[in-house]
Structure 1
């Protein structure tokens, strides 16, 4: 027997799947009256081209937030709502994370749609830093891909509970159970299906809810009508098998379900849902949903899963640092009546000035109130608060604990903390190091002012974009996460500031390191009449362990007062000075530990400057004698192409010094995984199109720095010396 669950209107959420007596897209001018238990702050993250933005578009449509569905690469020229930049719509990828809000039943959901391309990974990083839960989208054909691994690491870094959504089950070769195996084996997650697909590929019609043991089918032009029916006889055995697997995996991590499992009792629907929620919120379990966003299948049940299983803001533990108590960790109370604690996690330069995205962790933010930037100490009056809907906005008077909003007219930096008096600061986020750089110069001198404005804006928005000036050539250097990352900023400069730039050949961010321990004893002594300079330092340098968290370490092991304690900071600064520029090709030193053991000082002639200079010279000389080496960035590369091109792809990667790690068949395609030096990857996008007749695609992400071969090291040193001589001449 079929039962229709969505009868309110052509786009209303299902009345039984998501109970509501009335549905409206209007919001109050304050969020203080929204029950915390009804709030959800989620991010949608995945590997590039897994369907994140398409899924978000369907969510906005079914919640009544938008009036029509437009696809990422649609023929109507409109594009998805969350891809508001012209560049995003042209390239068909998400470049900047975009925030929106909607209502599902009586629940208020803040959503951030994040990029999938590794070059824009900082957008995912900062979103996951402030969100309470996430939807990990996986392709039903490709499964766990390289960027899926990166996103998973980011979610684990910030302890973000997640549900998984296996998308694209309408595609040829879709296999959701193989994807779940990948999640368990590659991501090491305790995951199990809470749904089964009804048909795959061209026959995909809907899903079976394992928890309620009901079949849910999407009907209507846009899948807006959800009908419920009994499970077909030919799928009952599979549904029972997957129910048993779900309970067994839950029993391993949840005591209540575990007790029922040992007593051989079947949990009720309410007990099972409560168990899934407890385990998911504790990051011990990942419920797996299924469907096809493009074909409008399975999106409404996923929304119910977000509400049922992901935490409300008061269920996620967040901590601040008490600056009055030696940065001791203090647990934040998600309560609007407490003192304000908020974090600026993203900046954008909009038409009305700087737009600052804020997460309110504690207290409330009200228009006109005075707040303090903890990082700068400045007192600021809040001029305007808005809720974002991609590039649209809605003014509100106030925002309570657990809200994600934006403010105008606030001068601050990314990851600044704000309070209304409490001296608390939120912890920052992980920012990956750039791996590639190019030189940029405006084509006309008259554009220099706009060029400077653009760089200032971009540098403030994106922590992974590093802007510097070469001290010798005086060229402006842009360093970023990859070719696409830098290309996008060059293109944005042209479109947004009318500045056309000439770019120099991309260069790789090499590093320098050492391979052995080397002791040093250095005396800096200078007499010029009057006060002289005197400092003696004794110690050694050695390589750090491969799995060390820090890239450079200073260890003071001095005993006694041969080196007066007031000079210890100067010694550390001197060691850091030496690490900024290595002796081989002038690059940053990484993977080195400097140990200071002893030294000597003069009662009159010693000074901070003397010890800083002595330490810098001592470390430079020691590193030069410690078998120094040059390290280059190695990229993890995934190539997907038709199988007939496998030989050409492998031979091409071998020519580029690539090391093939794995090769698997995926229907008619082959997936090749390789580690390749970044220096060898310039122009590969053109090569792969040529080799595969435009049918192949690739993604790559930074993996590690590794020593270059000796012959290449000699060439790099020779080129560096020649460049130095040219600059000197």
Structure 2
């Protein structure tokens, strides 16, 4: 490069480049109650961004293909998301700007709350999906509370408007009353639930008319029609949409960016993900309104700005993505600075160097070599045996981000290898499932190393563990349920006393934490009342 003034002027300072790239990023999670259409919406977003040419969800079991975000065999068989998935793709807005989307699809089932919670530590915004017929469901409410606690702005999407459901105004009232969020719809349905013709764009006043495609496998054509012509095309349905939109305005339900970022209001859109209706509008809202990365808060409560030296936060570890390679991928959210493949970083937990030769960009199960990443990006670090969820990586200036707490388990089972000759595979598989956070692994001198206890928030975690032990490690296991439902942290000096009590057992978790488990919460209360000298502390509950 020459040193002429003109050449120098074209090269932005490094910190300016980081800030520019951070502003182009949108990193968000899609969260919902099971069966609200989350993976279908994820697929539709990727389709409309032209990252794939045809959606995986197709009507009819005979020709149904798996979505890009549900790649595990159990996910394909059950039709539900079992593990979170990262998808990165570019999206060109109507104004011609290109944004980089980092989309994290999450499990909706309550049994996998811990995985969803980890994902929510790595995003700047959440898209909350609500079934038009069911409204706010228990898991939806819990996820709203997690987002509120973490200060994550929420965009609400009412899905399945192509099917019979509730009245739109009724759904808005329910959201406002049950979770104290002011709804500020950006689009409003033209046609009742089950007769979805299009939407009134409340920002422009235009009618966006949708046209179905075969099986919803391709992007639905849209026609943007001036309000003056909308009645001719949509008739009374348009008039009703206009009247209801005016009622919303009179009630103060117009979008306000400040209250959205403060998490006191939520913009709302109406979609049918299976038909690809309303998906373009969601992409535009994400790129226009969702916050871009602005650094992260460290353990001391200080913000590490996005243009600071490189740092990243590991929020997930996943193995078994490629049956041909037994490697393990650590998903890390870039919090600050620039990542370049081959950089030698510092692992904050151990202080040891970590070489990033095998860095990858992740798109569902697909992986490709990644050379550079910026704040907001999710990078996959292969062969990352030393990394655990909650770990921090940094360069130059030390930083430590808050760890991810383990949830309080409510289900416990003794795991034993079905084939004694597979002892080595058994130990390796249990260790890997523990490191990934699929289950918590507990041990005690009483039970021995051959019979670790698996602890989980929900029983489906045991199904995943059993399936993966057999499929990935050729070490099938049997599970013997234990009669415990409550766990508490305990102190070393109290272990002997607790171990002598009936319906109580003490285990050591892999991270060294001592857990006392009790048959019921009433048994816990009795132990505490009769032994006030014992110190027992609660863990993070799955519904917090």
TM-score by length of 2: 0.82
Asked whether the 8 Å contact 1:115–1:121 carries over to 2, the reply is yes
1:48 deviation in Å?
Answer: 0.5
User: For each residue in 1:27-85, what CA deviation from the matched residue of structure 2 results, as whole angstroms up to 9, or x when unmatched?
Assistant: xxxx9696322210010000000000000111111111112111288532521111010
Counterpart-to-counterpart distance in 2, 1:32 and 1:384: 22
| From 319, 324, 328, the counterpart of 2:297 | 319
Secondary structure of the structure 2 residue equivalent to 1:393: strand
Does residue 354 of structure 2 align to residue 368 of structure 1?
Answer: no
- Equivalent position of 1:55 in the other structure: 41
Q: 1:78 to 1:245 in 2, by over 3 A?
A: closer
Aligned to 1:507: 483
**Could you list the per-position Cα deviations for residues 119-147 of structure 1 after superposition, in whole angstroms to 9, with x for gaps in the alignment?**
11112101111100110000000000010
8 Å contact from structure 1 (residues 509, 632) kept in 2? no
Q: Is the 8 A contact 2:409 2:487 kept in 1?
A: no
Offset at residue 511 of structure 1 (A): 5.4
Q: Supply the distance in 2 between the matched residues of 1:482 and 1:424 (Cα, whole angstroms).
A: 34
Runs of 4+ in 1 over 4 A off after TM superposition: 31-34, 576-582, 620-623, 625-628, 630-633, 701-704
Q: CA deviation at 1:496?
A: 1.4
Query: Which position in structure 1 is the counterpart of 2:415?
Result: 440
SS where residue 36 of structure 1 aligns?
Answer: helix
Instruction: Please give the secondary structure, in 1, of the residue aligned with 2:400.
Output: strand
CA RMSD of superposed structures (Å): 3.1
Q: Does 1:245 align with 2:248?
A: yes
CA contact (8 A) 1:374 1:419 kept: yes
Q: 1: distance between equivalents of 2:331 and 2:63?
A: 31
Q: Which moved more, 1:138-147 or 1:415-424?
A: 415-424
Bigger drift between 295-304 and 194-203 goes to 194-203
Q: Give 1:471 shift.
A: 3.0
Q: Which has the higher mean CA deviation after the structures are superposed, 138-147 or 382-391?
A: 382-391
Q: 1:47 to 1:94 in 2, by over 3 A?
A: same
CA distance in 2, matches of 1:501, 1:93: 23
Secondary structure of the structure 2 residue equivalent to 1:375: coil
Deviations 1:567-590 (A, max 9, x none): xxxxx763x54786573432469x
Which residue of 2 is the match for residue 167 of structure 1? 159
Q: For residue 138 of structure 2, what is the aligned residue in structure 1?
A: 146
Scaled by the length of structure 1, the TM-score of the pair is: 0.62
Contact 2:18 2:337 in 1 (8 A): no
1:402 equivalenced with 2:402 (yes/no): no
Q: Which structure 2 residue ranges, 5 or more long, are not aligned?
A: 1-16, 93-97, 508-525
Partner of 2:515: none
Structure with max Cα Rg: 1
Q: Which residue of 2 aligns with 1:89?
A: 76
Deviation at 1:477, TM superposition (A): 1.3
1:400 is displaced (CA, Å) by 1.7
CA distance in 2, matches of 1:329, 1:510: 32
The answer to whether the aligner puts 1:349 opposite 2:352 as a matched pair is: no
Q: Is the 8 A contact 1:364 1:399 kept in 2?
A: yes
Q: Which residue of 2 aligns with 1:419?
A: 394
2:105 equivalent to 1:113: yes
Aligned counterparts of 1:703 and 1:429: Cα–Cα separation in 2: 15
Deviation at 1:503, TM superposition (A): 2.0
| In the alignment, structure 1 residue 339 sits paired with structure 2 residue 339 | no
C-alpha spacing 1:278/1:74, structure 2 compared with 1 (3 Å): farther
> Within 5 A, what are the aligned runs for 1:628-643?
none
Q: How far is the alpha carbon of 1:237 from its aligned partner? A: 6.0
- Superposition pairs for residues 479-498 of structure 1, below 5 Å? 479-498=455-474
CA–CA separation in structure 2 for the residues paired with 1:430 and 1:239: 47
Please give the alpha-carbon distance, in whole angstroms, between the structure 2 residues aligned to 1:579 and 1:34.
Answer: 59
Q: Does the 8 A contact of 1:32 with 1:400 survive in 2?
A: yes
- Relative to 1, partners in 2 of residues 1:121 and 1:246: Cα closer, same or farther, differing over 3 Å? farther
TM-aligned CA distance change 1:198 to 1:579, over 3 Å: farther
Summarize the Cα distance change of 1:246–1:306 in structure 2 as closer, same or farther, 3 Å threshold: farther
Deviation at 1:173, TM superposition (A): 2.8
Give the alignment partner of residue 187 of structure 2, picking from 188, 195, 198: 195
SS in 1 for 2:208: strand
* Distance in 1 separating the partners of 2:358 and 2:538: 47
Which structure would you say has the larger RCO, counting Cα contacts within 8 Å and 6 or more residues apart?
2
- Residue 478 (structure 1) aligns with: 454
SS of the equivalent of 1:75 reads helix
**Per-residue deviation, 1:197:** 1.0
SS of the aligned residue for 1:68 comes to: coil
Q: Which residues in structure 2 correspond to 1:422-571 (within 5 Å)?
A: 422-462=397-437, 465-474=439-448, 475-510=451-486
Matches for 1:377-392 after TM superposition, within 5 Å? 377-392=351-366
- The match for 1:5 is none
Please say if residues 387 and 405 of structure 1, whose CA atoms lie closer than 8 Å, have aligned partners that are also in contact: yes
Is 1:226 aligned with 2:231? Answer: no
Question: Counterparts of 2:208 and 2:41 in 1: how far apart (Å)?
Answer: 18
Question: Equivalent residue of 1:207, what SS?
Answer: strand
Q: Say if 2:504 is the partner of 1:586.
A: yes
CA distance in 2, matches of 1:122, 1:143: 23
Q: Which deviations, in whole Å up to 9, do the C-alpha atoms of 1:565-618 show, x marking residues without a partner? A: xxxxxxx763x54786573432469xxxxxxxxxxxxxxxxxxxxxxxxxxxxx
1:372-411: per-residue Cα shift (whole Å, max 9, x none)? Answer: 0111110122112221100101212111222221112332
The whole-number CA distance in structure 2 between the counterparts of 1:476 and 1:426 is 31
**Cα contact 1:511–1:588 (8 A) shared by 2:** no
Task: Give the conservation status (yes or no) of the 8 Å contact 2:343–2:356.
Answer: yes
1:621 and 1:284 map into 2 onto residues whose CA distance is 42
Q: 1: distance between equivalents of 2:429 and 2:41? A: 33
Other structure's SS at 1:491 match? helix
Contact 2:348 2:393 in 1 (8 A): yes
Matches for 1:627-706 after TM superposition, within 5 Å: none
Is the 8 Å Cα contact of residues 125 and 291 (structure 2) preserved in structure 1?
yes
> Does the C-alpha gap of structure 1 residues 333 and 441 become closer, same or farther in structure 2, counting only changes over 3 Å?
same
User: Which position in structure 2 is the counterpart of 1:158?
Assistant: 150
Give distance in 1, aligned partners of 2:71 and 2:288.
30
Number of the residue aligned with 1:298: 278
- SS, match of residue 203 in structure 1: coil
Partner of 1:329, secondary structure, is coil
